[in-house]
Structure formats: C-alpha cells, structure tokens
Amino acid sequence: MKFKKLQNTPISAMTYLRRIFPFLRWWNFIGWDTVRADLIAGLTGAIIVLPQGVAFAMIAGLPPEYGLYTAMVVPLVAALFGSSLHLISGPTTAISIVIFSSLSSVAVPGSAEYIRLVITLTFLAGVFQFAFGLARMGILVNFVSHTVIVGFTAGAAILIVTSQLKHVFGIRLPGSESFFNDWVNIIREISGINPYALIVAAGTLACAVLFKFFRPRWPGLLIAMIIGSLIAVFLVAKSHNIRLMESMPSHLPPFSIPDFSLDAIRMLAPKAFPVALIGLIEALSIARSIAAKSRQLIDSNQEFIGQGLSNICGSFFSCYAGSGSFTRSGLNYHSGAMTPLSAVFSAVFLALILLLVAPLTEYLPIPAMGGVILLVAFNLIDFHHIRGIIKTGKQETFILLTTFAATLIFDLEFAIYGGVLMSLFLYLSRTAHPEVVSLIPNPDVPGQYLAEADSSCPALKIIRVDGSLFFGAVNHVVEFFQAIDKQLPYKCHILIMACGINFIDITGAEMLVNEARRRRGLRGDLYLCGLKQNARDFLERGGYLDSIGADHIFVSETEAIKAILPTIDNPECRKCQSSLFKECENRE
C-alpha cells in the first residue's frame, strides 16, 4: 500500500544523513539514563558472550579466539548500521553449523587455508546481505507473521534450555543434531548428574530470579554469575568436576584480508548465499520478536544493510559470519538496554575483559552460565501472546504450534520457511474467500440503514462483499450468486454494497459483467453501490462500466433502493406482505 504524501516537504540534509548513518536516528535519545542502562546490559552481554563465542567458533571449525573476534566487531557494526535497537549480532549456532558443513570438505578445519576460506565466505555473505538491503528486499520478511515469530521464539527458547541442561546438570553428552536425541541422551545420563554443578547452576538461577523480582534495576544476571562463581569457589570446583571457562587469549582482533581472487569468489559465492540468507532470516526474526515486546518498528532493509556491513567489516578483522543471537539479544533486552549502544559497550567490555582480566575468566563456572541462560530462555517465551493467539482461532493456533514443533524438530531456518509458507497459504485462502453477507433495511437503529440478517426481500437481494474482487476470489463470489439462484429462484435483482471492495482486476470485472448479463436474462439486474473511486475508475477504463450500466452504479444505499424498487416487476413481490422497504408501502 502506498500512502500519499500529505505535504511536499523537502527532505532535509539531516534526513539524508540519517539514512546513510542510521545511528543518528536514535542518537538524540541518548542521555545519562540510557547510557547507564546500556552499560549494565553491555557488561552482562560481554560476560555471556565469552563462553558462547568460544563454543560457536569450535562448532564452526575455527580456533576459539575467532568466536570472540566475531563477538566484538560484528555486533558493533550491526548495531550502528542496523534498525533494531536491541538485536545483538555475533557468532551463532546455526551459522557456525552451516559454515562448518560448507567448508570442512574443502579444507582442514582450523588450518590457515580453512580460516582464509571462512573469512572470504564471510565477506561474500556480507556483500549478498548488503545488496539485498540496497535492493529493498527486506519486504519479503514482512511475510513472517507475528504468530510465526511467537512460535519460533518459544521453540528456540526450548532449544536453548535443552542445549544448556548438560551444563546445568554437569553431564557430558555425545554430539547430536536432534532435539529429541538430546533429550534421550539427557535422560540416559541423568544418573550421572554432578550435584555440585547443579548446586552452582541452581544457586545462580535462584539469585537471578530473586534479583529480577526484588531488585529489577540491578544487573541481576551479572551479580548472579558472580555469586555462582563464589559458590563454585566455596565448593572447590576443580575437585568436584565443575567445569570452568578456559583461559582466553588477551589481544584484539587482528587485521585480515579476504581472498579476492576470481577462483575463490567463484567457489565460495554459492556457499555464501545460504549463509547470507540464514543470517538475514535469523537476525530479522529475532529483531522482530524483540520489537514485538519493545514496540519498535523494524526497517527490514536497514537491518539487511546492517547485517551485510557487519559481515563485510568483520571479514577484515578476522571474524567469521555472524547473525542475530537469540540468547544475547533476549538478555540484552531483559537487562534493560535502551539503545544499540549496549552492543557497542558489550564489544568494548569484551575487549577489555580479554585485555585486562582474561585470566580471571578461568574462575567462571559453566553451570553458572547455564543457569543464567535458562532464565533468559524462559523470558523469551511470550506467554501473553501465546494465550491471545490460542483464543483468536484455530488457524493461528495451528501456525503457532506447527512453527513451534518445526523449530524443535527441524533446522531453525526450515521452521521459519514452514511458518512463512503456512502464513502465506492462510492469507491467500482468506483473500480468496471474501466474506459475502446478506443485508436488509434496519429501521431500529437510527443512521444504520442496512443490517446483516438471514431474512430478505423476495425480489431484491442486497449483499455486501468484504474483500477484493480478483482472480483468486471470483470463484467464491460466483458460487454465492449461484447459491442465491438455487435458494430463491425469483430473486433476480442483486444490489452489491461495494464499499468493502478495495480492488477489482480484469477477472473480477468480467465476472461482474457476466453476472449482470445473466441477471438481465433472468428478468433481473445487477447494481453496485458505494464503489470506491479506484475500482470505479478501473471499470470505466476497461469499458466494463458500459456493460454493467453507468446508471446501475449508485453512491448511497437510499439512492440505490429508491431507484431500483420501482423497476422491479416480480410475481413474488406482488404477493409479499412484509414491506421491508419504506418504498414498498407505496406500491399498489
């Protein structure tokens, strides 16, 4: 839908600047209150990303420090050039898996050649994403409905919980790519639970919950992790097999140059495309999911550009492809972040942690991280909207449950594809079946001349079509006309209240012409009332108005009925005693 501009106001230089540098759009909102909130969220995020960055880099077949480099550069650029205020980009599970499966057959994971390919792949994925953004293809993401997002978010939350249970229970599980296998493995290993790890995780979780309820302004998750670390120290972690973080390398991301040779580009471009696509879907879905809570309007194209630029810049600083992270974005939002500066602070804090206190990270117990992530995952489930969707109807509930189940069973991107396809199918089904209702005069309510009713005049059927008359909907409307003929053989005159018809295409216009001809053959006629200007213009331009009859188009229902009733010569009408219309009272 295009909105007509109310005024021809010239676009200012500042507006142009804001388009090029989107961070200028929220820059004026920054104040001490937002900086304070963002600092706390950034610090919490920096600590959470430490173990995740290491783990994801290892999944991608890269040395651990590459995950941390990605967690520093990618979120910074994506936050400043993207649209979402709360999305935290960086290394993610899905992208890490895709990178490993794309390149592990080409080079030995972890080798210099492998790293070179990954960096080039990251650059190309960024270029694709940037180009999609410039081509304004972000509109495609509008087809991911809110219900899909809610279902996807709930499913992802359960996946996150599942992935953390091994840390919480202190058990070692064999590698698995299936949600159900994970649970089977967890149940199988349940007897081997490490009670000390569980105490650390439960203690951290309990602290985080208490802070959330009683001291919501405090950096509860961060304090909870420190308390978890103290519990681990008290329990003498190492002697009770409580896993601790590994020592981190203490230097900033080194400069790197992607391989711009034609051979490399030719080989890697097809592999970069799915990385770009999955990255965009993931980032946009998360951004929209959080935006639904923060009431922000996401500019999909800007988010594409932000993601693209982050990967392009990242490829020059030893980063691998990143995208939006569900856990860290959720954590960022729930820690009270108000602007994308939280992502910038997070990157800066991560750099400082690496440079200054890298050895201290050895004291951070992994079960404590797991405990905190459990709370974050729980908060991601939007119970309020789930209840609303279930109350709304079966169709939406079906989409919700299917997306939720697909997220658990299949890959994340497949769940989104499935949800989108279902949303599209239901949308098309809805538009192809416009509601057609029967109307009769309504003397009881002043001002409302016609009202919906089952009874009707035996000679003139008044209907209202609520939807566009296009090729997909024509069949449904024709079926309704034929049903009128079957039920009421004398009802040959039809007045269509067309105020609900937003658009008519050639098939719809031809259907109206054919129906008008058919009605005339049955000693009746077809009339239209309240036709919108664009629909009327279309009928006029195509010559359809001449066939229907320009005098058969009315502006108001009173005018239409006043003109139509005197022309009706119907045997049923003569027998009728009901006098539904005022005009009937004057009939002889």
Partner 1 sequence: MSIVTISRGSYSRGKEIAEKLAETLGYECISREIILEASEQFNIPEIKLVRAIHDAPSILDRFSYGKERYIAFFRAAFLKRIQKDNLVYHGLAGQIFVQNIPHILKIRIIANLDARVKEEVKREKISAEQARQILVKDDAERRKWSMALYSLDTWDQRFYDMTLHLDTMGVEDAVSTILHILQRPCFQTTPKSLELLNDLSLSAQTEAALVNEFPKATVDAGKGLVYVSIRGSLIDEKRITDKVNRLVENVAGVKKVNVNIVPHSIKD
| SS3 call for 160 | helix
Upper half-sphere CA count for residue 146 (Cβ side, 13 Å): 13
- Distance CA(91)–CA(86), nearest Å, equals 16
Residue (217 or 587) nearer to partner 1, CB:
217
- Distance CA(38)–CA(335), nearest Å, equals 8
Write out the two tokens for 366.
């992994």
**In the bound complex, what is the minimum distance in angstroms from residue 35's beta carbon to partner 1?**
7
**In the bound complex, what is the minimum distance in angstroms from residue 37's beta carbon to partner 1?**
6
* DSSP 8-state symbol, 488: -
**In the bound complex, what is the minimum distance in angstroms from residue 6's beta carbon to partner 1?**
14
- Distance CA(333)–CA(322), nearest Å, equals 19
**In the bound complex, what is the minimum distance in angstroms from residue 376's beta carbon to partner 1?**
12
Residue (217 or 520) nearer to partner 1, CB:
217
- Distance CA(41)–CA(35), nearest Å, equals 10
Quickly list DSSP for 271-326: HHHHHHHHHHHHHHHHHHHHHHHHTPPP-HHHHHHHHHHHHHHHTTTT----EE-H
Residue (24 or 264) nearer to partner 1, CB:
24
Residue (83 or 570) nearer to partner 1, CB:
83
Q: Are 148 and 396 in contact (CB under 8 A)?
A: no
- Distance CA(202)–CA(223), nearest Å, equals 14
Contact footprint for partner 1 (CB under 8 A): 15, 18, 24-26, 28-29, 31-35, 37, 85, 216-217, 293-297, 333-334, 336-339
- Distance CA(355)–CA(248), nearest Å, equals 9
- Distance CA(234)–CA(429), nearest Å, equals 62
Residue (143 or 383) nearer to partner 1, CB:
383
Residue (26 or 417) nearer to partner 1, CB:
26
Residue (114 or 333) nearer to partner 1, CB:
333
- Distance CA(568)–CA(519), nearest Å, equals 12
**In the bound complex, what is the minimum distance in angstroms from residue 87's beta carbon to partner 1?**
13
**In the bound complex, what is the minimum distance in angstroms from residue 299's beta carbon to partner 1?**
9
**In the bound complex, what is the minimum distance in angstroms from residue 216's beta carbon to partner 1?**
6
Residue (19 or 517) nearer to partner 1, CB:
19
Residue (216 or 566) nearer to partner 1, CB:
216
**In the bound complex, what is the minimum distance in angstroms from residue 110's beta carbon to partner 1?**
40
**In the bound complex, what is the minimum distance in angstroms from residue 4's beta carbon to partner 1?**
17
Quickly list DSSP for 164-220: HHHHHHT------S-HHHHHHHHHHTGGG--HHHHHHHHHHHHHHHHHHHH-TTS-H
